[in-house]
Every structure is written in C-alpha cells, then in structure tokens.
A and B are shown apart, each in its own frame.
Chain A
Amino acid sequence: MPLLEVENLHTYYGNIHALKGISLTVEKGEIVTLIGGNGAGKTTTLRTICGLLKPREGRVKLEGEDLTQYKAHDIVYKGIAMVPEGRGVFARLTVMENLEMGAFSLKSKDQVNKNIERIFGLFPRLKDRRSQVAGTLSGGEQQMLATGRALMANPSILLMDEPSMGLAPVLVEVIFDTIEQVNKEGVTILLVEQNALMALGVAHRGYVLQTGEIILSDSADKLQKNSTVQKAYLGME
C-alpha cells in the first residue's frame, strides 16, 4: 500500500476547474516531485492534500485512511506536514517560537525539545539565531526555518511547495542537500518545484502537470531524458 494515495482529485476555485482528476501515489521513503509550469496546478494539488482546499471530487488517503473530510488543522495530526509556498514563517515570532508552533500537534514536551535539538543539528544556523525574530532572517534561513518547523510535527510525509523560490543558487544547493538528508533520515517527501532540473536531480520519481492534469509520470532519470520534459521544463533543445 502506498503511503500517500491521491485519487482522481477535482478542485475548483469558484467556477475555475483547477485540478481535473489528479491521481498520484507516493511510496514510503520516496522523494516524488511534481513539476510543471505556472498555473499547472502544482500548488493547488498540495493545498488540497493538506486540507486547505476541499476537492469537489476524489480522495486523499494516507496509509489507506481517507483524509478528504478532515480540516487542515486535523490533517497535521494524521502525519502530513507542509512547507508552504513563500515559506510562511511567523515573522514576529522568534525562531524558537516558530519551531514550537511547528510542534503544536505534539503533546509531550520532551518530544518537542528532542525535535528542536534534531532541527538544530540539521540547521546549525537556526541554533545561532534561536531567539531572533523570524522576520529578520535571510531568505535561505527562513526556508530552513519553514522546513524545520514542518519537521517538528514528526510527519510521515512532508509536502514542500517551491522551496527554491527566490533563493540565490548557492542556497538552492543547500536546501536541496537538506531535502536529500531529511529523506535519508526516513521522511517521505512530495516536492513541488519550478526548478525541474534540481527537483529531478534529487527525486526518485516525478509527475508532470499541465493545466490541471498529469501528462507524464515516470522515474526521475527517465523524465530527465524525456524530450518533452527537456524542451518544456529543462530549457534544452
């Protein structure tokens, strides 16, 4: 049984049919990426999975349990955490407080402290800035914080929306290194990216979205060699 199973998802914004029957699966331990152009429905897919949008049709299942009817704030408790587009750190809260909020769904204080230590191990930069207000962090640090914050909830799957957005190339490398590292520690990842080259570099498998539909799905290696993908998303002739 796949860890995450999305079946025939149809999501609307008012009358606009944004997702036209998206189906995808993510196996435990994988990095799966959704690539595609602007308005293809990548973010909408993630937002529907984590409950911020309600699909009009279709189902989202985690380990076989149907989550479609749950609200966003309940879905975290089920094991899905999201790093939102644009990072969404709480700018006026300190780094520590942001991490604590990430662990809002955990009951045990010991567990929270253990997770904080783990995040500080993963991102030592955050430890130096623990009592700093998050709004004063650089873009790269904010991305680390948003990622760390999502990991605080001990999710079984991490959804990441455009982690490379607005970051300098050097920092993009750092972020993708941590994605791989986090994955090696056993966290399954569903990654949405505009930067298809980087995304296919770390992912095991990928789906290509176009105007709300999946037009291609294959292993990351094969997608990299696919001529349609190369032309449309990797900028090759």
Chain B
Amino acid sequence: MLRTWRQRITITDIVVWTIGFAIAVMVVYGSAKTLALGKYTTETWIDLSITGLALGGVYALIALGYTLVYGILRMINFAHSEVFMSGPFTAAFAAEALVKQGLWNTYPVLSLLIVLTVSAGVSAIIAILVERIAYRPLRHAPRLVPLITAIGASFFLQYTFRGLYGSGLKGYPEMEIFKGFWIIAGIRVFKTQAAAIIGAVVLMLILYAIVQKTKMGKAMRSVSEDKEVAALMGIDVDRTIATTFALGGVAAGLAGILYLLLFPVAHFYMGFFPGLKAFTAAVLGGIGNVPGAFLGAMVLGLLESVGPSLFLDGLGIPAAYQMKDAIAFTILVFILIFRPSGILGERLTQAKA
C-alpha cells in the first residue's frame, strides 16, 4: 500500500502541493492579518466587491464569445479580444458625434441605444468577417493552423483600427444620468457600476435564453455536438457557425459599452487585457459552458478587485493593488491544477464517451 503511494506521487506533485499549501497559508494569514489590522472599513470591502462584480459582468459577456465558439468549433478564437475592441472603439466616435449634436445628455436613452447598436453591430460584423476569412477556409486544416490565423487576424485588426482611428486615446464622454451614485440599502453604489452589473446580468440571461430556447440556439447546440448529423436535420452548418460568431460579437460589443462606462477611454489596444481575462474566465468556469463563463468571470472579477487588499495588505506589501493580475492568475492556475475542467466544466473524457 505504502509502496503504491510512493510510486504514484512524483516530485512535481510534491512541489505543486507545497506551493499550493504555501499560497493557501499566505492567503489565509494575509486575510486574517488584514482584517485584524482593521485598515479597511466594511464599506470599503463592499465597494471593492461591487467593483469586482462590475468587472466580472463585463468579462462574462466577452467570455460568452469564447465559450460559444469553443463549443461549436473546439477552437479558441484569439481574435475575439479585437472583436471586443472594434465595437466600443467605433462607438466612442459615435458618442463624440452625439455630444457635438447636443443629443448626448438631452436624449440619453436614445443616445445609449445608438451607441450600443453601433458597438454591437461593428463587433458582430468583425466577428463574422474573421470567421469567414480566417477560419472557414481552414475548417479541415490541422488545429494549429486556425490558431495562427487567429493571431494574424488579431494583429491585423489591432493595426487596422490603429491606422483608421489613430493610436491615441479616445475619451468616452460621461453621461449625466450615470454621474454620481445611488444609496442602496445603506450601501453606496456608483451608477456606472450598477449599470454594468445590471446590464451584464440581464444581457447574459437574454443570451443564455437565446442559446437554450430558440430554434437557432438549439441548432447551434446540435452543430456543436455533431456537425454531420446536424446537416442531416437540414441545419446549414456554415450559417449556424457564422451566427454563433455574430452572437459572440454582439455580446462583446455590448460588453464594450459597459466597459467604457467603467473605464471611459477607448484605444486600439483596449481589447488585449479584457480579452485575455475573459478567456481565462471562460476556462475557469469550464469552457463551452455558458453559466460557467458567467461564474468564472464573476470569480475572476472578485479575485482581481478584492484579492490584493485582502490577501496582501496584511503582509505589509506596499503597492498591493499593482499585483492584482498576479494574484488573480496565480489563484487561477491553482484552481485549474486541481480542477482542470473548470468550475462547471464536464470532464472531457466523459463528454466524448
């Protein structure tokens, strides 16, 4: 018995478990110390959590695009971060025009609708074009090939948008209706953050309902299981795949506007980090799984915003907040080591059987 244990545990396992244990101790000790020091008030913690949820909501909408495309093509669309960038970057110009016309604050709902439509529309069109040009001709190529074209498409889009709109930062005008904060149950919530959280939750629910309940959504799920049999049902597989990209694009474009509410600056590089994090969120939640993407995104958003202050401040690290990404990704790596299929993901071997 002892012998089999010895044989089964490798050095790598020991190292991984030790580091994991050390991190767990650090997290618990750091959190306890931070809380004992009482450096932050309850309001601050709530503030940080709300920030995390708002970020998580934006990640969730972007993650939907990754997860839907992965579900149907078993491929990571690495150009999705640029699909995300293209919409809000374009919408920032539309917003500027609306400000110049004096409509921005006089007709806020109309303006918001216009900006959302522009953003979702542009992102959807870019997503469809990427699929048509960079992926569809390579549908039967080895898996690495579309990965290369994805990276190519990503750079192409970044520099095309840089060329078109300039490499500077593009300010996104603030809207009067989103200025200030609400007091909800004694908690101060910035209106932008509230809008981002509510918007993300509502949109996720709508998009999830589309995937689960509509004929188009069911066709998408059929294609993701078996393309040949789906074709035998009369489902046009190519069109369904294009629709999936479009739906992911719409979600990313809408996410872009929520993102601009939180960080009101657009630029050609704005897709990179949110894209990467949304991809991470999708994997964390269990890629291919829509509720998983939502859950993963919320966990990541919270880790990123609450994590640094909670885990590190007590340890006396001076600029804890600068380490937010390091913390988020370290914890992520460990979640995945112990649960490779993600939080809600099914074991891949079972799914194939």
Contact = CB atoms under 8 A, between A and B. Distances in A.
Asked if A pairs with B, the answer is: yes
A52 interface: yes
A84 B225 contact: no
Interface stretch (A13-21, A93-101, A117-125, A169-177): A93-101
Where chain B touches its partner, the secondary structure class is helix
B136 to A, nearest CB: 15
Given A100-B218, A101-B218, A101-B219, A73 B228 contact: no
Given A52-B228, A100-B215, A104-B215, A76 B222 contact: no
Interface residues of A, number: 26
Contacts of B219: 101, 104
A72 B236 CA distance: 9
Interface string A78-110: 000110100010111100010011101100000
B137 interface: no
A105 B218 contact: no
A139 B225 CA distance: 18
Interface string B226-237: 101111111111
A82 B226 CA distance: 14
Interface string B207-245: 000000001001101100110111111111100000000
B218 A93 contact: yes
Given A101-B218, A104-B219, A76 B225 contact: no
Contacts, number: 64
A50 interface: yes
Contacts of B221: 90, 92-93, 97
A97 B219 CA distance: 10
Contact of B225 (A51, A74, A92, A102): A92
Contact of B233 (A51, A91, A102): A102
Nearest to B229: A88
B234 A105 contact: yes
30 contacts: A72-B228, A73-B231, A73-B234, A73-B235, A73-B236, A74-B234, A76-B232, A76-B233, A81-B232, A82-B232, A88-B228, A90-B221, A90-B225, A90-B226, A90-B229, A91-B225, A92-B221, A92-B225, A93-B221, A93-B222, A93-B225, A101-B218, A101-B230, A101-B233, A104-B234, A104-B235, A105-B233, A105-B234, A149-B233, A153-B233
